[in-house]
Amino acid sequence: MKQRIHLLFLLYGCIAVCDFLFIYFNYPTLRWFTKPLLMPLLAAAFYVATVNKKGRMFWFILAALFLSWAGDLFLQMNNLFIPGLISFLLAHVFYILYFLSIHPGKKGLFQFQPLIGLPVLIYIVLFLYFLYPFLDALKIPVTVYGITIGSMLLMSLHVRRKTSDAAATCFFTGAFLFVISDSVLAVNLFAVKHVLLSLCVMITYASAQYFIVKGTLRNEQDF
């Protein structure tokens, strides 16, 4: 069992590295063989490694990974930015639902340190303010998305008092990297186009999804 899990995570890492190389050396066609494989491999690793395959928390993560996979496909196609945005927005909603489901009766970090999430709120506001001149008709959907991913990051902070430090660290690392990935993606799409920005997007994105999944597996051990 453990060998299969390690193999799936290893394959995920190898395919991710291939995708990074295809971005850097500008082989967009070859990315149709790598990018669509990432989330299915991660979902397979999560499925094999998870003991409790019946609870709603299990399905929240699978739904988030499926929607992320759909978002990956939409963003690779021309003129499908909005469906991609909606797919990732819903993926973040499922991650938020997962975080909210972690020991709901226990007090979270914000109940002990209510101001610790303030930097996240300030960042989202300032980043949206920076993007607004470039968004035109996309101001409302991008704003909704920004609020949603900011909420996901806040919820990943809130669970620190509800689960083990190892799981909480994985959750925050993954959510933080997701915010970085989406921030760089927005700059790359709307403001400055550069291959290194595209590379940064995928490195942080692949790492973010990995850390969130690892966090769920560590959290399962606490229940």
- Write down the pLDDT at residue 126: 97
- Write down the pLDDT at residue 1: 74
- Write down the pLDDT at residue 105: 86
Q: Which residue type does 221 have?
A: Q
- Write down the pLDDT at residue 54: 82
Domain count, the chain: 1
- Write down the pLDDT at residue 164: 93
Mean pLDDT by 10 residues, the chain (223 residues): 90 98 96 97 96 90 98 93 97 98 91 92 96 93 96 96 94 98 96 95 98 94 62
**Could you tell me the pTM of the whole model?**
0.95
H helices then E strands: how many in the chain? 8, 0
Phi, psi of 26, deg, nearest 5: 60, 60
Taking the CA of residue 72 as centre, how many other CA atoms within 13 Å lie in the half-sphere pointing to its CB? 22
d(CA 97, CA 87): 15
d(CA 122, CA 89): 20
Residue 77: give the domain boundaries. 2-220
Question: 48-51: long-range contacts (C-beta < 8 A, 24 or more apart)?
Answer: 48/1, 48/4, 48/5, 48/8, 49/5, 49/217, 50/216, 50/217, 50/220, 51/220
- Write down the pLDDT at residue 114: 87
